[in-house]
Amino acid sequence: MTLLLLFNITNGLIVGAFYVLMALGLSLILNLSNVINFAHGGFLVIGGYIAYAISPYVGFWGALLLAPPLTAVIGLVVERVLIRPLYGRDPLYSLLLTFGLAFMIEDLTRFIFGPQGKPFAIPAFLAQPLSNELFFITGYRLFMVAMVFVAIALLFVLLRYTRLGIRIRAGTLDLETVAALGINVRLLRSLNFAVGIFLAGLSGVLAAGQLGLEPTMGTGLLMPSFIAIIVGGIGSLPGTLVGGLLIGVASGVTAVFFPAASEAVIYVLMAVILLTRPRGLFGEEGMMG
Amino acid sequence: MTAALTAEGLHTYYGKSHILQGVSLAVAEGRITALLGRNGAGKTTTLRSLMGLTPARQGKITIFGEDTTRWPTFRIAAQGVGYVPEGRRIFANLSVEENLKVPLERGGPWTIERIFKLFPRLEERKLNRGRQLSGGEQEMLSIARALLINPRLLILDEPSQGLAPLVVREVFRIIQQMKAEGISILLVEQNARMSLEIADDAYVLDDGMIVYSGGAQELAADEARVRSLAGASAEEWTLA
């Protein structure tokens, strides 16, 4: 029983780490550009399939290194061509656009790579369990969690210590004043979008190694990622971090006692938190607060 | 006398309301130009139009010889226009030091070190968040931020608003110092008397139209007019 609980808590933390990675990207884009990016799961799929397509040539490590930036470049093009014309309009426009885009990406993936799942090979040494007792902790799972935390740490450093990051944070508070201080806010939004999509691409590569590839793999992660943002408090990145891990673990633990409710519990948790703290766990402090 | 900025026949709307009805003004290089007027006369709207924040529907704006009428805000600012907005608009969640890292680095005499020499108080509070500052400190920070893009033209929207008389004097002293540095200044104020003491040229705006343009001293001499302009609270203050 203890082992089963531990197994599910570990699972929950790993799934939660994915929610966090997805949700941080969503949060960045939402905070600065007021775009609710429903295509975020689509970019995760793109990241995964790029890794799959290039790994025969560059290997697993090459794919891990190259797929996220390539996904970010695709994100830049999408932002420039499709999303930028909608800034300043009702957020509903970009929501509808990205909602449609999500379907297009899914179908395009199906069209190019076929509807069946594809395996994505990871290095043999990462696939081994660490011990017989704790069979569920494979090297790859630890590696994934480590990668997620490295990405979060780098994002934190970017936002805290670079001028780009400071301007992104300033822009989420008052974009007009950032523009009045001579900053090209169009470029700022593009770069910020690219950072968010980079994180989605990274999630895609990491998820591919654990679960294999499917054209629909992004959809299941998207809703919980939105909920992670809401639970943590919109506008707060530390909140998003805590929110993602929290709903991951809650879902994992529920799977032990009442498997059927493991998905519903996420929504129940959100409802309870919104009833007690309407702005989410970290809502009042605001971004990086 | 060359102009740092000229605006000709600006018409600006908020939705359907016609706020600016043909505003024309000029800011001469190296001088302080005061733009005065009662609440709701259109002073802030004028500045927002000049900065491209609320673009004018008609008219022409020239800044340092460039037609900036259709330019986006960041490009206007990047030309060397420092803007101190109404209500200061400090980034409340960012530290003082981070607030100072937002502006474009245009290159020039102003660096964060020099800002800290001019405003020692900001250095003392550099790790505090914007929202923890007093009104006077926020005003200093807002001015400091605008100076860091190394402006040739500084546009200030009611820098004295909500500040204690002593702090207002300090702010006006700094504006005079900026003029001495060769920066052209456009100053919008409720505090007519004090503004006219430091200004060279003056405009009075009423109901979206310029009703006076000329020397600041001539306007200051027109006691009845100044009295009608001055906000009740500011009436008794002088720069002394």
pLDDT value at residue B234: 45
Q: Is B93 on the interface with A (CB under 8 A)?
A: yes
Evaluate whether B157 touches B171 at the Cβ level (below 8 Å). no
Q: In chain A, which residue's Cα lies nearest the Cα of B51?
A: A180
Residue B2 burial by Cβ neighbours in a 10 Å radius (0-12, 13-18, 19+): exposed
Of B51, B93, B106, the CB nearest to A286: B93
Radius of gyration of chain B (CA): 17
Strand order through the sheet with B17-28: B17-28, B3-14, B58-63, B66-67
Residue A213 three-state SS: strand
Q: Is A170 on the interface with B (CB under 8 A)?
A: yes
Helix pair angle (A237-257, A139-161), 10° resolution: 160
Of A181, A186, A285, the CB nearest to B145: A181
- How many other CB atoms are there within 10 angstroms of residue A104's CB atom? 11
Q: What residues in B contact A185, CB-CB < 8 Å?
A: 74
Of B74, B98, B99, the CB nearest to A182: B74
Which amino acid belongs to residue A96?
L
Interchain CB distance below 8 Å, A182 and B78: yes
pLDDT value at residue A287: 42
Phi/psi at A285 (5° precision): -70, -35
DSSP assignment of chain B: --EEEEEEEEEEEETTEEEEEEEEEEEETTSEEEEE--TTSSHHHHHHHHTTSS--SEEEEEETTEE-TT--HHHHHHTTEEEE-TT----TTSBHHHHTTSS----SS--HHHHHHH-HHHHHTTTSBGGGS-HHHHHHHHHHHHHTT--SEEEEE-TTTT--HHHHHHHHHHHHHHHHTT-EEEEEES-HHHHHHH-SEEEEEETTEEEEEEEHHHHHH-HHHHHHHS-GGGTT----
What number is the average pLDDT over the span B37-57? 93
Between these two residues, B35 and A9, which has the higher pLDDT value? B35
Q: Is A189 on the interface with B (CB under 8 A)?
A: no
Of A178, A286, A287, the CB nearest to B102: A178
Question: Which residue bears the tokens 């090459």?
Answer: A62
Task: Please give the mean pLDDT across all residues of chain B.
Answer: 91
Instruction: Give the whole-number percent of chain A exceeding pLDDT 70.
Output: 97
Q: What residues in A contact B149, CB-CB < 8 Å?
A: 181-182
Lowest mean pLDDT among A15-19, A85-89, B58-62, B229-233: B229-233
The answer, yes or no, to whether residue B86 has pLDDT greater than 50, is yes
The CATH number for B3-89+152-230, chosen from 3.90.120.10, 3.90.420.10, 3.30.565.10, 3.40.50.300, is 3.40.50.300
What number is the average pLDDT over the span A220-240? 89
Domains annotated for chain A, with CATH where assigned, are: 2-276 (1.10.3470)
Residue A174: partners with Cβ closer than 8 Å, 6 or more residues away: B89, B91
The answer, yes or no, to whether residue A135 has pLDDT greater than 80, is no
In the structure encoding, which two tokens stand for residue A212, read together? Answer: 């294999």
Q: Is A179 on the interface with B (CB under 8 A)?
A: yes
Across-strand partners of B215? B201
Lowest mean pLDDT among A158-162, A190-194, A221-225, B127-131: A221-225
Between these two residues, A135 and B91, which has the higher pLDDT value? B91
Contacts for B111-117: CB closer than 8 Å, 24+ residues apart? B111/B148, B112/B148, B115/B144, B115/B147, B115/B148
Give CA A284 to chain center in angstroms. Answer: 23
pLDDT digits (tens, 9 = 90+) for B135-168: 999 999 999 999 999 999 999 999 998 899 889 9
Nearest-neighbour CA in chain A from B72: distance (Å): 9
Between these two residues, A72 and B237, which has the higher pLDDT value? A72
- How many other CB atoms are there within 10 angstroms of residue B144's CB atom? 24
Q: Parallel, antiparallel, or unpaired for β B153-157 and B32-36?
A: unpaired
Interchain CB distance below 8 Å, A183 and B51: no
pLDDT value at residue B235: 46
Q: Report how far apart, in Å, the C-alpha atoms of A227 and of each of A96, A100, A116, A233, B12 are.
A: 19, 21, 29, 10, 42
pLDDT value at residue B239: 58
Instruction: Give the whole-number percent of chain B exceeding pLDDT 90.
Output: 80
Of A181, A186, A288, the CB nearest to B102: A181
B128 pLDDT tier (thresholds 50, 70, 90): very high
Instruction: Give the whole-number percent of chain A exceeding pLDDT 90.
Output: 60
- For chain B, the first-to-last Cα distance in angstroms comes to 29
The answer, yes or no, to whether residue B93 has pLDDT greater than 60, is yes
Interchain CB distance below 8 Å, B91 and A174: yes
CA A190/CA A201 separation, integer angstroms: 16
DSSP assignment of A167-210: HHHHHHHHHHHHHHTT--HHHHHHHHHHHHHHHHHHHHHHHHHH
Q: Is B172 on the interface with A (CB under 8 A)?
A: no
Between these two residues, B11 and A221, which has the higher pLDDT value? B11
Q: Is A157 on the interface with B (CB under 8 A)?
A: no
In the structure encoding, which two tokens stand for residue A56, read together? Answer: 């025969």
Size of interface A-B (CB pairs under 8 A): 70
B2 pLDDT tier (thresholds 50, 70, 90): confident
The answer, yes or no, to whether residue A57 has pLDDT greater than 80, is yes
Q: Is B63 on the interface with A (CB under 8 A)?
A: no
**Among positive and negative, which fits the CA dihedral A283, A285, A286, A289?**
negative
Interchain CB distance below 8 Å, A173 and B106: no
Q: Which of A177, A188, A288 to mutate to test the interface with B (most CBs of B within 10 A)?
A: A177
pLDDT digits (tens, 9 = 90+) for A241-258: 999 999 988 888 888 888
The answer, yes or no, to whether residue A289 has pLDDT greater than 50, is no
Evaluate whether A287 touches A236 at the Cβ level (below 8 Å). yes
pLDDT digits (tens, 9 = 90+) for B178-233: 999 999 999 999 888 889 999 999 999 999 999 999 999 989 888 888 877 765 44
CA A45/CA A57 separation, integer angstroms: 20
